Structure 1
Amino acid sequence: MSSSSSDDSASEFIINHLTSNSTFQLYKELKCLEAEQSDAESSRRPGQSRRYIDRNREEGHKRLWKDYFDEHPVFPPQTFRRRFRMRRELFVQIVNGISNHSIYFQQRKDALGNNGLSPLQKCTAAIRQLAYGTTGDLFDEYIQIGESTSIECLQNFCRCVIEVYSSHYLRKPNANDIQNLLQKHSEKHGFPGMLGSIDCMHWPWKNCSVAWQGQYTRGDQGCPTIMLEAVASQELWMWHAYFGVVGSNNDINVLNQSPLFNDVLQGYAPECNFTVNGRTYTKGCYLADGIYPEWAIMVKSFPHPADPKRIKFKEMQEATRKDVKRAFGVLQSRWAIVRGPPRSWQLKNIKDIMYTCIILYNMIVENEGNAISNWSDDVDPPIRVNRGPVEEVQYQIQRNSELRDNTVHHALRHDLMEHIWERFINM
Structure 2
Amino acid sequence: MSSSDYSSSGGEEEMEELDLFHYRRLTLIGRRIEEASSLRRRSTSRTYIDRERVSGHNRLMQDYFNPNPTYDARVFRRRFRMQPRLFNRIMGDVVRYDPSFARRSDAVGHLGLSPEQKLTSALRMLAYGSPADQLDEYVRMGESTVLEVFRKFCRAIVGMYSSTHLRAPTPCDLRILLHKALQRGFPGMIGSIDCMHWEWRNCPTSWTGQYLGHNRKPTIILEAVASYNTWIWHAFFGPPGSNNDINVLGMSPVFNRILNGSAPRVRFEVNGHTYDQCYYLADGIYPSWSTLVKTFSNPSSNKEALFARCQEAHRKDVERAFGILQARWAIVRGPARSWDVATINDIMLTCIILHNMIIEDEQVDSDDEMEDSLDYEVHDQQPTNVNRDIPTLTEYLARNNRLRAAPTHHGLRQDLVEHIWNLHGNN
2:373 counterpart residue number:
none
Structure 1 CA distance for aligned equivalents of residues 349 and 111 of structure 2? 32
- Tell whether 2:212 aligns with 1:209: no
CA contact (8 A) 1:177 1:372 kept: no
Classify the secondary structure of the residue corresponding to 2:161: helix
How far the C-alpha of 1:129 sits from its partner, in A, is 0.2
Residue of 231, 241, 244 corresponding to 2:235: 241
Structure 2 CA distance for aligned equivalents of residues 40 and 79 of structure 1? 50
CA contact (8 A) 1:175 1:271 kept: no
Structure 1 CA distance for aligned equivalents of residues 303 and 384 of structure 2? 40
Classify the secondary structure of the residue corresponding to 2:191: strand
Structure 1 CA distance for aligned equivalents of residues 266 and 384 of structure 2? 14
Relative distance call for 1:421 and 1:383 in structure 2 (3 A) is: closer
Q: Structure 2: give runs of 5+ residues left out of the alignment.
A: 1-34, 369-382
How far the C-alpha of 1:41 sits from its partner, in A, is 5.0
Pairs aligned (count) = 382
How far the C-alpha of 1:238 sits from its partner, in A, is 0.4
1:161 counterpart residue number:
157
2:223 counterpart residue number:
229
2:87 counterpart residue number:
91
2:329 counterpart residue number:
335
Residue of 283, 296, 306 corresponding to 1:302: 296
Classify the secondary structure of the residue corresponding to 2:205: coil
Structure 2 CA distance for aligned equivalents of residues 141 and 301 of structure 1? 52
2:389 counterpart residue number:
386
2:250 counterpart residue number:
256
Q: How does 1:118-129 map to 2 (within 5 A)?
A: 118-129=114-125
How far the C-alpha of 1:384 sits from its partner, in A, is 2.8
Render the CA deviation track for 1:132-179: whole Å, top value 9, x for unaligned.
001112121111101100011110000001111111100110111111
- Tell whether 2:199 aligns with 1:193: no
CA contact (8 A) 1:125 1:154 kept: yes
How far the C-alpha of 1:49 sits from its partner, in A, is 1.4
CA contact (8 A) 1:237 1:371 kept: no
CA contact (8 A) 1:288 1:300 kept: yes
1:420 counterpart residue number:
420
Q: Kindly report structure 1 stretches of 4+ aligned residues shifted beyond 2 Å.
A: 37-45, 370-374, 380-387
Classify the secondary structure of the residue corresponding to 1:280: strand
1:348 counterpart residue number:
342
Residue of 278, 281, 284 corresponding to 1:287: 281
How far the C-alpha of 1:340 sits from its partner, in A, is 0.4
Q: Structure 1: give runs of 5+ residues left out of the alignment.
A: 1-36, 375-379
Classify the secondary structure of the residue corresponding to 1:166: helix
- Tell whether 2:84 aligns with 1:82: no
How far the C-alpha of 1:386 sits from its partner, in A, is 3.1
Structure 1 CA distance for aligned equivalents of residues 158 and 385 of structure 2? 25
Residue of 306, 316, 323 corresponding to 2:310: 316
Structure 2 CA distance for aligned equivalents of residues 97 and 371 of structure 1? 26
Classify the secondary structure of the residue corresponding to 1:190: coil
How far the C-alpha of 1:412 sits from its partner, in A, is 0.3
TM-score (norm 2): 0.86
Relative distance call for 1:372 and 1:209 in structure 2 (3 A) is: farther
Structure 1 CA distance for aligned equivalents of residues 36 and 54 of structure 2? 35
Residue of 146, 166, 171 corresponding to 2:167: 171
Structure 1 CA distance for aligned equivalents of residues 282 and 363 of structure 2? 27
Classify the secondary structure of the residue corresponding to 2:418: helix
How far the C-alpha of 1:109 sits from its partner, in A, is 1.1
1:398 counterpart residue number:
398
Q: What amino acid does structure 1 have at the position aligned with 2:166?
A: L
Structure 1 CA distance for aligned equivalents of residues 198 and 245 of structure 2? 14
1:51 counterpart residue number:
47
CA contact (8 A) 1:105 1:122 kept: yes
Structure 2 CA distance for aligned equivalents of residues 67 and 381 of structure 1? 51
% identical equivalent positions: 51
Classify the secondary structure of the residue corresponding to 1:270: coil
Structure 1 CA distance for aligned equivalents of residues 166 and 202 of structure 2? 27
2:379 counterpart residue number:
none
Render the CA deviation track for 1:291-337: whole Å, top value 9, x for unaligned.
00000011011121121100101111111111100100000000000
Classify the secondary structure of the residue corresponding to 2:132: coil
Q: What amino acid does structure 2 have at the position aligned with 1:247?
A: G
CA contact (8 A) 2:190 2:280 kept: yes
Structure 2 CA distance for aligned equivalents of residues 244 and 372 of structure 1? 35
Q: CA RMSD in A?
A: 2.1
CA contact (8 A) 2:266 2:384 kept: no
CA contact (8 A) 1:43 1:50 kept: no
Relative distance call for 1:371 and 1:246 in structure 2 (3 A) is: farther
TM-score (norm 1): 0.86
Render the CA deviation track for 1:43-75: whole Å, top value 9, x for unaligned.
563xx1121111111111111111000101000
CA contact (8 A) 2:265 2:386 kept: no
2:132 counterpart residue number:
136
Structure 2 CA distance for aligned equivalents of residues 254 and 73 of structure 1? 47
Structure 1 CA distance for aligned equivalents of residues 80 and 384 of structure 2? 36
How far the C-alpha of 1:180 sits from its partner, in A, is 0.8
Q: What amino acid does structure 2 have at the position aligned with 1:196?
A: G
